[in-house]
Structure 1
Amino acid sequence: MKFIRKNIFNAVLIIIFLVIVFVPGAKAFFIKGLMEIGFYKLNVETPKENVVGLNGIRFKDVKGNLIDLGDLKGKVIFLNFWATWCPPCRAEMPSINKLYTQFKDDKGIVFIFADADGDFAKSGRFMADRKYAMPIYKVESDIPEKVFAGALPTTVIFDKQGRLSFKHEGVANYADQKIIDFLNQLKSTH
């Protein structure tokens, strides 16, 4: 009898593990839980190499409007690279949505959520299903490796002078007060 219970228990653990590994929503839920207990802490410090030429780095929104990062001098830029199939991206989305909601009416900050797949239909459905209002873009130019080297999710923040002020590859909690304070600090500096 003990042998059967032990095998059932092991089988249940294996099934849970496989679901977490192979089902993106389940993996995202698990990672989100780890974020909430403080497992993924952000380190807000400016990268050593922070000069990036923003001119010519372009994104297109759902309506076909092009935005060139070089035209955004004088504004703080929050740029997130993500994909609908990426569990860490899915896990951090609620915190990013919370941050976006807090700053969306602030003319001093521009938010760009770049769908790595560039599939507006899929990413639009993803956002609508979760009631996220974040503006979706797709990449329309080459992106310097200093900004995005291919890891998803990647979040970068540029100050008002266009300098790279923050870069994080991997999941993070962007509703963290450190990020809120950091964005407010970047907005207020000249």
Structure 2
Amino acid sequence: MIKRNISIKNIFFLILIALLIIPQTRQQIQIALHTMIAKINPSLEKEDAVAKISSYNWKLKDLEGNSVDLNQVKGKVVFVNMWATWCPPCIAEMPSIQKLYNDYKDKIEFVLVSNEKQATIKSFLEKKNYNFNTFIPQTQIPQTFNVKSIPRTFLIDKEGNIIIDESGAANWNSQMVRNTIDKLLKD
């Protein structure tokens, strides 16, 4: 009986390893795993650890080719997300970002940034039915953001304080995030 349990576990483990090695299934499995992880709420920054945006000088281009300056969002509540179409944790959190965008697009600024080609981003967004604002960087990202991995997301208040700084997939449509945004809009 013990040998049978061990062999079933071993077979399951070998199948999982094989699926992770095969390129066609690897990304889907990674996305599924990160989707489970993305159910976790992002955490608020501790009051004594809140960083402030030192510079909004960042030139971006929207998917229609229009130049945009991050200075245009200064003084507003801003949701900034760095992502890529090939990134499983980024893909895993996109549905929650879309839901948040649907409800808050007229209340806060959404700045989703990918350094991929315009056609690649457009194709991904159309395939997934996402319609949030996406931009391509034209100048170096401000040092304040200090992005070393993606996804990386910031929620910034009207004074430029980084209220949430989250690396990795998260549930951006959680009640905690919504309550935080509602509070920031009232302040």
Asked if TM exceeds 0.5, the reply is yes
What does residue range 63-82 of structure 1 map to in structure 2 within 5 Å?
A: 63-82=64-83
Look up the SS of the partner of 1:146 in the other structure: helix
Stretches of structure 2 that go unaligned for 5 or more consecutive residues are none
Q: Contact 1:120 / 1:136 at 8 angstroms: preserved in 2? A: no
Q: How far apart, in 1, do the equivalents of 2:75 and 2:136 lie?
A: 23
Q: Which runs of 4+ in 1 moved over 6 A?
A: 2-5
Aligned mates of 1:76, 1:8 — CA distance in 2: 52
What pairs up with 1:81-160 in 2 under 5 angstroms?
81-104=82-105, 106=106, 108-115=107-114, 117-160=115-158
The 3 A distance-change label for structure 1 pair 29 and 56 is same
Are the equivalent residues in 2 in contact too, given 1:80–1:113 (CA < 8 A)? yes
**Cα shift at 1:178:** 0.6
Aligned residue pair count: 183
Partner of 2:16: 16
CA–CA separation in structure 1 for the residues paired with 2:37 and 2:168: 13
Structure 1: give runs of 5+ residues left out of the alignment.
none
Structure 2 counterpart of 1:33, one-letter code: M
CA distance in 2, matches of 1:178, 1:4: 46
TM-score scaled by length of structure 1: 0.84
Normalising by structure 2, we get a TM-score of 0.85
Tell me: CA distance 1:55–1:32, structure 2 relative to 1, closer, same or farther (3 Å).
Answer: closer
Partner amino acid for 1:152?
Answer: I
Aligned-pair Cα RMSD in Å: 2.4
Task: Tell me the alpha carbon deviations over residues 40-82 of structure 1, each in whole angstroms, 9 at most, x when there is no partner.
Answer: 3321225725222233112110112222222222311101000
Alpha carbons 1:57, 1:70 under 8 Å: kept: yes
Q: How many percent identity over aligned positions?
A: 29
Q: Distance in 1 between matches of 2:12 and 2:134?
A: 39
Structure 1 contact 35–172 (Cα < 8 Å) conserved: yes
